[in-house]
A and B are shown apart, each in its own frame.
Chain A
Amino acid sequence: MLKFLNIFFKDFCRIFLRSIIYVIIAVAASLITGYLWNSGFASHFTAQTAYRMNAARYCMAGMWVILVIFAAVMVVVAACQWFGEDILTNRSYLNHMLPIYTWELVVSKALAGLAVLLCAAAILTWDVLKVANSISIVGDLLAVIPDLSKSDGVNFDLAMFIRLGVYFMLMLCLIVMSTAFMSQTLGQLASRGFARNFLIFMGFFALLFVSGTVLLTVFRVFGITLNFAELNNLQGIFDTAENILRLISNTNLVLSILYMTGASLILTYRLNV
């Protein structure tokens, strides 16, 4: 256990250092935007040109969303790159000679990636909320949500939805990471060059297809279909969204564990570095 924690910590530090630059860029961009806004940017607009101010707000909000997604994607990419470099290339001999199980190497990288992603999400959330106070657009949007729960006859738990949303995003990242781990490991079976890249490419899309098929099967088993008739009222939309989020997240968790087990087994019995 101590050895696992040790390798996890080292992986966490490495992935954090690799991806923190993208988080810093996102934070810096939004801080600069907030500073510009506070220092009289809004005063340039008159009542007649207020629509331009709103357009600028939406552009900024869009930019933040893109930067936040970009930072999250880069954390996942960093985790996948780190997996490739540290496990599958011939510069990974030291790691493979450490007296730990192969599954520990695989799982530590996935968990480290997720932990870094959580840290990045925390920093970015703070960043977005801080800037949101400056231009109030995100605040306005968030303020609408509690009003929904006040609608007559609608049972809506905002805290639960936020928890479920975070769980969903994390599981989405985990499934992308574990799919990349598994396909990279499949590519490792081929000797070198084109065959290797082809196997990685095909493996990735084959696994995505498998994931989609499993999700559809799970949806059918649990009786969830895209029946628009049920979505004609607010409660129906909330319930369906909740069920879909929960099922996708749980299925992604199970599939991720399966893919990581598969990668560990291939590396244990068909290691080729």
Chain B
Amino acid sequence: MANQKTKKAKISPVRKAPSAPKRQQKPTGYNDDILLSLKGVKKRYGNKYGVNDVTFDIEPGRIVAILGPDGSGKSSVARMICGLTTVSKGEIKVCGLKPSRKTKDLISFLPEIPFVNDYTKVSTVLRKYKAFYKDFDAEKAEKLIKYAGIKLSDVFGRMSSTAMQKAQAIFVMCRKTKLYILDEPMTHIEPKARDFIAKLILSNMQDDSSVLIFSRIPNELEKIIDDVMFIHRGQIKLAGTVDEVRAEYGKEVSSLYREVYKC
């Protein structure tokens, strides 16, 4: 460590997609090997741009983290990809398709906040997933829910934030889909549960799928991600593979994050 070459962290505008060799074999079924593509995406809130000219591509078989502090535009990007909010400018394509009803089959989304009303039972969500998603493994989800110490009769509004996030993550990751989008999956939960979610991601991710994680806590993520991007004031300021970033800056991603964002 003492001999390791260190370099002062400097945010450089790298807009290209991570270009590291693929971890998995090539996917089939769609063109260009691009699972998700964002080109010059902007999101306007009143007079301000919450997301300003974001461009990147995600290839299949990658776990990508987009890191940034509060208000940097992470959740807006996530919601635009999922079609939960409209794009002010630019283009988003998921497997070559604009966000629409068809792309909902291809995306499994875990939001930062609860995605159902407080009085909804875990069993209700389980039934809903089972009824609407053909790719949902209900048996596995039920087993994992029991393993996580959650009862099917539990109501979301009365669960702890950790239990709620675990339950939501189980539902999201038990789908066999192309793209998993996880918004702050490890933020409001206790450390032990972070390992649970990390294992959940690694064990349930499909060979030809990708996971896009938006977070402001890079520590636990660093162990599982392939690529990393730093987002600041709605713009991607740094992008590369974890190995590239470590080699270039001579430090771990979490250390670099703390230095850049003055944590």
Contacts and interface: CB of A to CB of B under 8 A. Distances in A.
Interface of A: 3, 6, 10, 85-86, 90-91, 93-94, 96-101, 191, 269-273
A185 to B, nearest CB: 13
A98 B117 contact: no
A272 B78 CA distance: 13
20 contacts: A3-B132, A6-B131, A86-B117, A91-B116, A91-B117, A93-B111, A94-B125, A94-B128, A96-B83, A96-B84, A97-B104, A97-B109, A99-B102, A99-B132, A100-B132, A101-B101, A270-B86, A272-B86, A273-B79, A273-B84
B123 interface: no
Contact of A99 (B46, B85, B101, B114): B101
A183 to B, nearest CB: 20
B105 interface: yes
Contact of B115 (A6, A94, A271, A272): A94
A99 B116 contact: no
Interface residues of B, number: 26
B88 to A, nearest CB: 11
Contact of A271 (B45, B83, B102): B83
Nearest to A90: B113
Contact of A98 (B46, B79, B102, B132): B132
Contact of B86 (A96, A98, A101, A269): A269
Nearest to B75: A90
Nearest to A17: B119
A3 B195 CA distance: 36
B86 A6 contact: no
Nearest to A9: B131
Nearest to A2: B131
A6 B132 contact: yes
Given A3-B132, A90-B113, A91-B115, A100 B101 contact: yes
Nearest to B156: A91
A93 B86 CA distance: 14
B133 A99 contact: yes
Given A98-B128, A99-B133, 15 more contacts: A85-B117, A91-B117, A93-B109, A93-B111, A93-B115, A97-B107, A97-B115, A98-B104, A98-B132, A99-B105, A100-B101, A191-B46, A270-B86, A271-B86, A273-B79
Nearest to B82: A97
Nearest to B116: A94
B38 to A, nearest CB: 18
Contacts of A272: 85-86
A191 B76 CA distance: 13
Interface of B: 45-46, 79, 82-86, 101-102, 104-105, 107, 109, 111, 113-118, 125, 128, 131-133
Contacts of A86: 117
A65 to B, nearest CB: 32
Contacts of A3: 131-132
Nearest to B172: A97
Given A90-B113, A97-B107, A99-B101, A271 B85 contact: yes
Q: 3 smallest A-B Cβ distances: which pairs? A: A93-B115, A94-B115, A99-B104
Nearest to A195: B46
Nearest to A13: B124
Contacts of A273: 79, 84-85
A6 B113 CA distance: 25
Contacts of B46: 191
A62 B114 CA distance: 45
A114 B128 CA distance: 23
Which of B82, B107, B132 has the largest number of chain A CB atoms within 10 A?
B132
Which of A90, A93, A96, A270 has the largest number of chain B CB atoms within 10 A?
A93
A56 B45 CA distance: 60
A191 B131 CA distance: 33
A191 B86 CA distance: 12
A80 to B, nearest CB: 15
Contacts of A93: 82, 84, 109, 111, 115
A240 B107 CA distance: 56
Contacts of B113: 90-91
A271 to B, nearest CB: 6
A99 B101 CA distance: 6
Which of A86, A99, A100, A191 has the largest number of chain B CB atoms within 10 A?
A99
